[in-house]
A and B are shown apart, each in its own frame.
Chain A
Amino acid sequence: MILALLASLALAQGDYAPGRAGTDPLDAEREARVQRLGKQIRCPVCQGVSIADSPSSMARAQLDKVRELVAAGRSDEEIYQYFVARYGEWALLSPSKQGVTSVLWLAPVLLILLGTLFIWLQVRKKPAAPPAAEPAVSTAAAEEDPYLAAVRKDLQQ
């Protein structure tokens, strides 16, 4: 109760990040583009949320920037580059398919191909021939064995 009262007092004094409505939306077509681009740009003060989905005032300010760049006729690539120039590829929720980050896209495909190749090689391999049965002790060897000869002799008696 006391905490709630203190929080209310702090809010009354302006000790909070004020919510902002952001700039006015553009016409329907361009605003749809603003929202589509905003969903691909990571909010820097949130946890894995896009600037289009975050309610934080920093994200609102960044979406305003996207709106300003769209209104100025900038291309999608130029707008992404504005944020990449400040935060690196980290700013993009879908990493670009060029340069070092292309590995992120290619690695899963490569692993699937390697796995398929491995399975195919295993299936194609001929099953190993069953091991030959152990030959019985050869008769000749048995005849030469003095112990066996002694046993036979004892049995005959």
Chain B
Amino acid sequence: MKRWVVIGVAVAATATLLVVYFKAFGTDPHAVPFMLTGKKAPPFKIKRLDTGEVVDSSAYAGQPMVLNFWSTWCGPCKQEHPVLNWAAQKYQGRAVFFGIVFESEEDATKRWLQEHGEGFPQLFDPKSTVAVDYGVSGVPETYFIDKSGTIVSKYPYPIDPRTMEARLAEIL
């Protein structure tokens, strides 16, 4: 009897460890959890850098949207910027693209855009309020929102053309 109790406890402990191991296997231990997938995208009203007009996200209801959060001091943002410019041109009329610049100075951002090109509208988030509402945990991060306004996915790395097309296919 006592022997079976010991075996039972050992099996239960091993099974628990195996469940924990396989559940976490292959995941990035440094990744910050993101819980807004499948939830409605938070609304925002912030200034567009080139025209100065205030952009209200509710004006784009019913259209798929790509939001790219970035900063001027972020090296990987520079690396992915041509991909975003390319995708914004290719999918023009099918999805709305916005860059949201936060943790940056307005003048420095304008200089950055003059140097690297501005293929799609860039919005300025001076107090990072929109970034906080969207649960941003670093830069760059790209959000894919479908026409019902639901966040379908977030890509928290510099995006490449193949990933961009795959993610866009999910919201178009």
Contacts and interface: CB of A to CB of B under 8 A. Distances in A.
Chain B binding site: helix, strand, loop or mixed by DSSP?
loop
Interface string B77-112: 000000000000000000000000011110110010
A105 interface: no
B128 A17 contact: no
Interface stretch (B31-39, B44-52, B56-64, B157-165): B31-39
Nearest to A90: B33
Chain A binding site: helix, strand, loop or mixed by DSSP?
helix
Contacts of B23: none
A88 B138 contact: no
B137 interface: yes
Interface residues of B, number: 26
Interface residues of A, number: 22
A88 B108 CA distance: 34
Interface string A44-72: 11000000000001100110110000000
Given A14-B72, A45-B137, A61 B35 contact: no
B135 A86 contact: yes
Contacts of A57: 103, 128
B19 interface: no
A17 B71 contact: yes
Given A57-B128, A61-B131, A65-B132, A17 B103 contact: yes
A84 B136 CA distance: 13
Interface of B: 32-36, 39, 71-73, 102-105, 107-108, 111, 127-129, 131-132, 134-138
6 contacts: A14-B108, A15-B108, A23-B127, A45-B138, A62-B132, A86-B35
